[in-house]
Amino acid sequence: MAARTAPFAAFEWMIAWRYLRARRAEGGVSVMTWISLIGIALAVFALIATLSVRSGFRAEFVSTILGINAHVTVYPGTSLAEDGRIVRTTGGYAGMAERIRAVPGVTRAAPLVKGQVLANRGELNTGVQVYGVSPEDLRTMPGLNAGGEAQGDLDRFGEGIVLGLGVARELGVGVGDRVQIISPNGVRTAMGTVPRRNAYEVVYIFSAGRWDADATRAYLPLAEAQAFFNKEGAADEIEVMVEDPEAIDALVPAILAAAGEGMLPWTWRDSAGAYLSALEVEDNVMFVILSILVLIAAMNIVSGLIMLVKNKGRDIGILRTMGLTEGSVLRIFFLCGAFTGIVGTAIGVVAGVLFALNGEAIFSALNYLTSGGVWDASIRGIYRLPTRLEWADVGAAVALSLALSFLVTLFPARRAARMNPVEALRYE
């Protein structure tokens, strides 16, 4: 009759629950059960929290890369000018940009002139990368105020210069002040090259959400930049943005075909791919390390169950002599360990999800309390560390925790099932 008992019958659940809530004076191991449960919960919480921080950092990093930078830059190869100088500019950029805009999937194509200058205000100086772009193209640039600290009027771009927030702070200027930029590649005279300099009114200050962009970037009207850098009628590159940046590799051939011969591509994956690959490797290593942490927490279940089996040896002997099968004994003690793993996992999931949903506020509070010691934008590149809840990560953490909890539970449960009832009752 006992052999035909259905697995996980009601009496098996009842006995398992009785053992779990037994006081230590009755031979229970409730303290060890609580230690195991808390260990599983903390391990699952750490795993979900780490994965959410990882996902948030990658999403923010990629978002700020794609916000103000080109998804793909189309630029010409080097050539020789009539005076023997090596140049890397292209004429006919307006028609080229128009053809690229017509490519399906392309949302923006803007000719640029670029140059490095020294920005000066009184006794303050800083190096700046100047981008020459038309007012129409600058207005369509996404992410120009991703940091939420923009100042000024972008409609006045044609009357002055646009500075990154970091550049403005370094020079101590605001909207309406004048900034002088100096380029060593100036006018050539019989006495040598005279640095070119000009002063512009600051009409707009932007925050791109990336520390490096805010600290080094400035924008001038395209015609003004061409005149300043001696590149009249030419552009250095075409800045292209697309609907789906993740699919940029598939769009590059069509973009190059529209651009014409002699043009070369440089995608956002080329500029940030190595860093993203390093993040991917770090993510995998971190998951493995935290998986070991979950395994260590699950091993506490083994020690608790071994003590439970030892304390309940007399009960096991009596139950076996009453006709309880080895399978029923195994399932009873398996339920004891599995219950600990399930409850601990559930608590860890709830805590981890709450952290993921409120992680940015938590980090902001910690950063405030430590006076900025938790997150330094000049080192990390981005101003904030958001957390992002990915249900796939939660599922992976739950599956890992439950699988390890169930697996380690089998060994002490099997030991209890194979216990000889005669030996268990010999000294009783």
d(CA 76, CA 72): 13
- 350-406: per-residue pLDDT in tens? 999 999 888 878 877 776 777 665 565 555 556 667 788 888 889 999 999 999 888
pLDDT given for residue 374 in this prediction: 59
Which tens digit of pLDDT belongs to each residue from 242-290? 998 888 889 999 999 998 888 889 998 888 777 778 878 888 888 888 8
pLDDT band of residue 27 (cuts 50, 70, 90) is: very low
DSSP state of 5: P
What does the alpha-carbon distance between residue 268 and residue 287 come to, in Å, rounded to a whole number?
27
Whole-number pLDDT of residue 26? 47
Residue 428 has pLDDT above 60, yes or no: no
Q: What percent of the chain has pLDDT over 90?
A: 28
Residue 234 reports pLDDT greater than 60: yes
The answer to whether 130 and 219 are in contact (CB under 8 A) is: yes
Which tens digits make up the pLDDT trace of 297-329? 888 888 777 777 777 767 777 777 776 777 777
Which secondary-structure segment (H or E) carries 379?
helix 377-380
What is the rounded distance in angstroms from the CA atom of residue 253 to the CA atom of residue 418? Answer: 68
DSSP assignment string, 20-64: HT--GGGT--HHHHHHHHHHHHHHHHHHHHHHHHHHHHHHHHHHH
- Cα separation, 21 vs 31, in Å, equals 10
Measured at the CA of 88, the angle between CA 83 and CA 92, to 5 degrees, comes to 95
* 145 touches 194 (CB < 8 A): no
pLDDT above 50: residue 71? yes
Mean pLDDT of the chain: 81
pTM comes to 0.69
pLDDT of 25 > 60? The answer is no
The per-residue pLDDT for range 128-174, each reduced to its tens digit, is 999 999 999 888 887 777 666 788 888 889 889 999 999 999 999 99
Integer Cα distance of 233 and 90 in angstroms? 9
Angle at 97 between CA 199 and CA 244, to 5 degrees: 105
Could you tell me if 183 and 197 are in contact, meaning their C-beta atoms sit under 8 angstroms apart?
yes
Look at residue 394 in the predicted model and tell me its pLDDT. Answer: 92
Q: How confident is the model at residue 222 (pLDDT cuts 50, 70, 90)?
A: very high
- At which residue do the structure tokens 């990336």 appear? 210
Residue 261: helix, strand or coil by DSSP? coil
Higher pLDDT, 325 or 55: 55
**What CA–CA distance (Å, rounded) separates 2 from 71?**
69
Would you say residue 427 has pLDDT above 60? no
Please report the pLDDT score of residue 112 as a whole number.
93
User: Residue 168, class by beta-carbon neighbours within 10 Å (0-12 exposed, 13-18 middle, 19+ buried)?
Assistant: buried
8 or 114, which is more confident?
Answer: 114
